[in-house]
Amino acid sequence: MAFLTEPEPRRGTALAVLPGVRRIVAANPGPMTYHGTNTYLIETPDGLILLDPGPDDDAHVAALLAASGGKLAMILLSHTHIDHIGALAALRAATGAPVAAYKTSPHPDFSPDIPLDDGDAVAGLTAVHTPGHAPDHLCFAFGAGILFSADHVMAWSTSVVSPPTGDMAAYFASLRRLLARDDRVYLPGHGPALSDPQPYVRDLLAHRIARENAIAAALAQGPADTHALMEALYSKLDPMLRRAAERNVLAHLLKLESEGRVLRDGSEWRAEHAAARA
């Protein structure tokens, strides 16, 4: 995979990325978040929309309120992972803006004011349900060929798919769904914009298929647990990312199990044909 990089953005500053769209990057950098979570301010006919409040950080909230003048027509959520909704309570209290998000939330303490389903239009944006990274994950189509792709597709890295809420079969299906679209630019939840996204999405899908085939091939040589498979397939990976890699391995195994290609035996997994010979 060929990933994009960018210089560390100015903190607390609303940076124009496209006409009518500004980006403020939260100060929560890390191996899972790159420079930090992207919060977008979007000018629409219905007023200023904020997409993804970001982490619970006073400085980030202050920057968002300053950039918006404290007046928001709506807060949109791509999904309810904490690095995207940590600042929601503070922004909701400060602005009184209603919150729109996927109709069914896996987060026990959250329900949207405006529940969205796939294809619903809100303030000039259209929800595109793309489960996989999270069951409630939404991308948002906007204007002529712009897609806010959140954590489903990011130019700086692949996405983590961590069971039980992460689902690799759904992730594959959601990637294929985006391949059927003709968006010209993605604005992700972390990292820089991605122009001409179709070749990149095809590479993402091919990368995941290759990982899946490598897991199946490893199990054809004998049973193994998720840690052993991760060690074999991700031996050169940054140690800080190895736990996430093991979660991806588990997600692949669950997908393969649902397809009848592997079987689980306690903590170990084995190829289905090997189990049949046993």
The CATH number of whichever domain residue 260 belongs to comes to 1.10.10.10
Place of tokens 């405006």: 114
Decide which of 150, 165, 194 is a domain's last residue: 194
Q: Is the pTM here over 0.85, yes or no?
A: yes
pLDDT of 278 above 90 = no
Q: Verify that 56 and 180 share a domain, yes or no.
A: yes
| Average predicted confidence (pLDDT) for the chain | 95
Q: Verify that 48 and 156 share a domain, yes or no.
A: yes
What total number of domains does the chain contain? 2
Q: 273: domain range? A: 207-277
Residue 4 lies in a domain: no
Q: Verify that 155 and 63 share a domain, yes or no.
A: yes
Q: Verify that 138 and 270 share a domain, yes or no.
A: no
Residue 1 lies in a domain: no
Q: Verify that 84 and 174 share a domain, yes or no.
A: yes
Q: Verify that 30 and 138 share a domain, yes or no.
A: yes
| Predicted pLDDT of residue 275 | 43
Would you place residue 268 in the very low, low, confident or very high pLDDT band (cuts 50, 70, 90)?
very high
Q: What is the pLDDT of residues 205-234, one digit of tens each?
A: 999 999 999 999 999 999 999 999 999 988
Count CB atoms within 10 A of the CB of residue 89. 14
Q: Verify that 31 and 163 share a domain, yes or no.
A: yes
In eight-state DSSP terms, residue 15 is E
| Predicted pLDDT of residue 231 | 92
Q: What is the pLDDT of residues 141-198, one digit of tens each?
A: 998 899 999 999 999 999 999 999 999 999 999 999 999 999 999 999 999 999 999 9
CB 72, CB 47: distance < 8 Å = yes
| Predicted pLDDT of residue 116 | 98
Strand partners, 148: 140, 187
Decide which of 149, 168, 194 is a domain's last residue: 194
Based on C-alpha coordinates, what's the Rg of the chain? 20
CB 39, CB 52: distance < 8 Å = yes
Residue 47 lies in a domain: yes
Q: Verify that 175 and 228 share a domain, yes or no.
A: no
CB 98, CB 114: distance < 8 Å = yes
> What is the Cα 200 distance to its own chain's centre?
15
Would you place residue 74 in the very low, low, confident or very high pLDDT band (cuts 50, 70, 90)?
very high
Residue 35 lies in a domain: yes
Residue 5 lies in a domain: no
Decide which of 162, 194, 226 is a domain's last residue: 194
CA-nearest of 136, 155, 142 to 19 is 142
Instruction: Residue 148: give its domain's CATH number.
Output: 3.60.15.10
Q: Verify that 109 and 159 share a domain, yes or no.
A: yes
| Predicted pLDDT of residue 221 | 93
Q: Verify that 56 and 136 share a domain, yes or no.
A: yes
Q: How far apart are CA 230 and CA 246, in angstroms?
A: 5
